[in-house]
Structure 1
Amino acid sequence: MSEAVNQGHVEMHVDEFGIATIEFGHPMSNSLPGKILRKLAETITDAGKDSAVKVIVLKSAGDKAFCAGASFDELISIQDLETGKVFFSGFAQVINACRKCPKLIIGRVQGKAVGGGVGIASAVDYCYATRFAEVKLSELAVGIGPFVVGPAVERKMGLSAMSQLAINATEWRTAEWAMQNGLYADVFDSEHEMDEEITRLATVLAKSSPEAMAELKKIFWIGTENWDQLLAERAGISGTLVLSDFTVNAINSFKKK
């Protein structure tokens, strides 16, 4: 297996106001190997349990891509169904960690989001982006499909927008399109402008009632109580499809580009 699957980081910093900033990063356009997915889910869960944390800002490293989605190096190494299910369950764990976290999560999307990156942007409670934050659900192009992230994307953007992304899997949609369809709350011309607004909102929320925010979050996520089981089942679908000759050949083709 490529060394790339062991690279990357997840870090959390909590400031004096109780604003926790969780950052994930990977040298390959912030792609997500299983190790990073597990650590990210654990960090979000831990932040939710920490009484010192009032609100969470979720971001990725650097100033280019927000998240390139699943790690192709790890996808191509999967040889059996169980390994495939475990890998795709990593995305399920991150989404469910966001869902169950009693703290409100603000997303910061500075650049392009693909596949699982769109899933993460959909799983936060309030998401800001720059005009460079185009989106694409590219899974069908490699013979899989956005099965695990689909429920989160559909919940945030609606079935129509989600299906457009899932079907037209090779085309980018603009950040403005994503905002019009509910993924982003606002789109900014620069990271500086976006960060100013994130700081403003996070500071306001950090001074708000933790109990009220936790109760609001429960209401926002009503109807998703079955997602532990649903997303596990979806991970099984992806874990099966990733073993197909079509997907193996498609991923190898993408890696050569």
Structure 2
Amino acid sequence: MTEPYVTLNIKNSVGYIEFFHPNRNSMPSVILTKLKATIEEAGSNTAINVIVLQSGGDRTFCAGASFNEVMAVKDVEQGKAFFSGFANVINAMRTCPKLIIGRVQGKTVGGGVGLAAATDYCLANKFASIRLSELSIGIGPFVIEPAVTRKVGLAAMSQMTIDAETFFSAEWAREKGLYADVFETVEALDEAVKELAVKLSNYNPEALKQMKSVFWKDTEHWDTLLTERAEISGALVLSKFTKNTLKRFR
């Protein structure tokens, strides 16, 4: 696989959304835009009762923001527009009327942790360690913070943010509530995801929809909040510190 993509496949009333980018499943604007649209498409498709969010490849679930695109940001508006891509995806997941199951098969960083946190139920394998590296490059996990804090609590969110160069293990993430369960192999993970998705797809769709609205109670202000957070990140990426730091990763 060399070309980035976002796909939607339907099987047994389950919509499988998969994203991929050859650079460790990083997220440039084109992928973020397509992912938001695909989540909305699946949410309105009456043939789908449950959604599974997964990435291609077997080593990294998501490396977060595309550093190449971040490096190219020239002004605050451009920066805000880029980070709004993550805000839009998280809000699409939040408002989607279908339950979203996350399948995390490998390491995930930054915005990828936000995606995992924005699922309604997330399963992983033992290699799915997590890191919030944003402070180490001169910005912060501002856009994804509400989703991550909602799932793991402020203390765990703060620990990951401050220990920005540390990968926290999948078992740690399970203990904090990001993952519901952790499996030894990708095969075992896939079997568990499939079994859960099929089971849920046979439940009353209206009950699932109403239950999801309960899960996301008191997040209606996120449309505004996440956009405001995107503007903060969009300004910070213009700093000399961030520009110089990102050059090391090119």
TM-score, structure 2 as length reference: 0.98
2:164 corresponds in structure 1 to: 169
2:93 corresponds in structure 1 to: 98
Matched, 1:11 2:7: yes
Amino acid at match of 2:30: K
What are the superposed Cα offsets for residues 73-127 of structure 1, whole Å, 9 maximum, x if unpaired? 1000000111100000000011001000000000000000000000000000000
Shift of residue 178, structure 1, vs aligned partner = 0.2
1:26 corresponds in structure 2 to: 21
2:41 corresponds in structure 1 to: 46
In structure 2, distance between residues paired with 1:196 and 1:60: 16
> Out of 57, 61, 65, which is 1:62 matched to?
57
In structure 2, distance between residues paired with 1:134 and 1:123: 17
Matched, 1:203 2:198: yes
Question: How many pairs align?
Answer: 249
Shift of residue 223, structure 1, vs aligned partner = 1.2
> Out of 228, 232, 235, which is 2:227 matched to?
232
- 1:59-208 equivalences in 2 (<5 Å): 59-208=54-203
Bigger share in strand: 2
Amino acid at match of 1:83: Q
Shift of residue 254, structure 1, vs aligned partner = 2.6
Shift of residue 54, structure 1, vs aligned partner = 0.6
Q: Structure 1, unaligned stretches of length 5 or more?
A: none
Seq. identity, %: 56
| Greater than 6 Å deviation, 4+ residue runs | none
In structure 1, distance between residues paired with 2:224 and 2:77: 16
Root mean square deviation, CA, Å: 0.9
2:245 corresponds in structure 1 to: 250
In structure 2, distance between residues paired with 1:99 and 1:53: 17
Q: Which SS does the other structure have where 1:254 is aligned?
A: coil
Amino acid at match of 2:9: H
Shift of residue 33, structure 1, vs aligned partner = 0.2
Amino acid at match of 1:90: G
Q: Which SS does the other structure have where 1:225 is aligned?
A: coil
In structure 2, distance between residues paired with 1:199 and 1:26: 23
Amino acid at match of 2:131: K
Shift of residue 43, structure 1, vs aligned partner = 0.4
Shift of residue 240, structure 1, vs aligned partner = 0.3
In structure 2, distance between residues paired with 1:102 and 1:232: 22
